[in-house]
Amino acid sequence: MRPFAEILVLLAALTGLSCGGKKETVQAVPVPVKVETVAVRDIRPVWRYSGEIRPDTQVQLAFKQAGYVASLHQIRGADGRMRNSQVGDQVPAGVVLARLRRKDYDAVLNQAGGQETSMRGALATAQAQLEQAKANQTKANLDFERAEALYRAKALTRPDYDAAVAQQKAANAGVDAALQQVAARQGQLGAAQAQTASAQIAVSDTDLTTPMPSVILAKEIEPGSLVAAGSRAFTIADTRVVKVEFGVPDSMLPHFKMGARVPVEVEALEEGERTGRITEIAAAANRESRVFNIQVSLPNRSGSLKVGMIASARIEQPQSRQIPLVPVTALITAQSGSNNYSVFTVREENGKQVAQLRSVRIGETYGRSVGINDGLTPGDRIIVNRTNQLADGSLVRIVD
């Protein structure tokens, strides 16, 4: 019977029955909250942009010729023994990182050299024949002059005169033929020299030489590997100077000038900030992201800045400005990862204090406060606690 009695009591409460026969009205209880007034502060705005450390110059070394890898550059390892070069090693300029087996290319070079020597001999023979033809031409010209003089004096018969004329023509033709032979031999010698030079280049291309002081970023070969012409063997980078690249919207471009100093902080190092210089400002926006790429170059003589590290560039506005500040505890989390947050302000309504939800756009964080770029004005009163218990229009009671 007890459950039935409890049901009767519950029904009586729902119908507002009481011993006096009057109905009671439920009043909303104001939420006790703390309130702070929005203050302003003279602040020099700071923007931070993150980017990845990249080398100043990066090169992929590939073999121009095909062949078997005969050897790699040797470096003394940490254990004192000589070993082949590997990723991470520092190498100076002009070092032969890898060498192909040369005997195949040496054979071609020797063949080309022999052909060149043969052509030199043939040219020398043709030049000697030209000198002989010129001598015969000189003698034939003298004989013709004597024969012509005797023939005019009627002291030489016609057949002898005709023989002198024929001898002169034959000598002239011999010189022309010798000249053509010399020209042909010179052309053949030039072709042989070109073949020798090409063979010498092929031999030199069996060596893969570093064009600059660099660090090895990637290695694709080992001794004994068969490589094709154009196949990549190493990726090297000059890291004496590194760069940090990041994108900025068009509204920020006026804050960037070529050559300007920029503080850069590297998260992986405890050396504090470094100072770099702006060395590149994109002339056009990226078609996909619609931002302009900025490049900041940093000296890296110690080599402590490694490719792939994350760095943060800090850009300060030259002039300070007054920015409204609110405690971080007053912010209500943004939706969809945007920069738009909300806060509760206090307004008077029919003699009561009511919480009003207001959207704001935040800026930089300063300790436990955050700058408000839009949505609040100095003097606004904001609620700094129990925001998770409030809704737009909730009654509040301000407490100290």
Q: Which two tokens stand for residue 131?
A: 């000198």
Strand partners, 236: 59, 216
pLDDT in tens, the chain (400 residues): 344 334 333 333 444 434 444 444 456 788 899 998 888 888 777 788 888 999 999 999 999 889 999 999 999 988 889 999 999 899 999 999 999 998 888 888 888 889 989 999 999 999 999 999 999 999 999 988 998 898 888 888 899 889 989 999 999 999 999 999 999 999 999 999 998 888 888 888 889 999 999 999 999 999 999 999 988 999 999 999 999 999 888 888 888 899 999 999 988 887 778 899 999 999 998 888 889 999 999 999 888 899 989 999 988 776 777 788 888 888 887 655 555 788 999 988 888 899 999 888 887 777 788 888 888 888 888 998 888 888 888 898 888 7
Tally Cβ neighbours within 10 Å of residue 189. 20
CA distance 222 to 234: 11
Which residues are CB-neighbours of 220 under 8 A, at least 6 positions away?
231, 232, 233, 234
Strand partners, 362: 372
Tally Cβ neighbours within 10 Å of residue 393. 11
What's residue 15's pLDDT?
43
What's residue 254's pLDDT?
85
What's residue 268's pLDDT?
84
CA distance 156 to 258: 96
> Are the C-beta atoms of residues 54 and 43 closer than 8 Å to each other?
no
Q: What is the pTM of this model?
A: 0.59
Q: Which of 34, 30, 33, 27 is nearest to 395 (CA)?
A: 30
Q: Which two tokens stand for residue 309?
A: 């590290």
> Are the C-beta atoms of residues 238 and 214 closer than 8 Å to each other?
yes
Q: Is the dihedral of CA 243, 244, 246, 251 positive or negative?
A: negative
Q: What is the DSSP letter of 208?
A: E
Please give the C-alpha separations between residue 75 and each of 87, 101, 220, 363, in angstroms, as whole numbers. 12, 20, 17, 52
Which residues are CB-neighbours of 342 under 8 A, at least 6 positions away?
331, 332, 334, 357, 358, 359, 360
Q: Which two tokens stand for residue 295?
A: 């490049």
Q: Which two tokens stand for residue 387?
A: 């925001």
CA distance 188 to 183: 9
Q: Which two tokens stand for residue 119?
A: 């052509």
Q: Which of 308, 237, 214 is nearest to 60 (CA)?
A: 237
CA distance 40 to 371: 9
Which residue is associated with the tokens 């010798």? 178
Q: Which stretch of DSSP H or E encloses residue 365? A: strand 352-366
What's residue 241's pLDDT?
93
CA distance 358 to 375: 7
> Are the C-beta atoms of residues 45 and 372 closer than 8 Å to each other?
no
Query: Would you give the distance in Å from CA 242 to the centre of its chain?
Result: 10
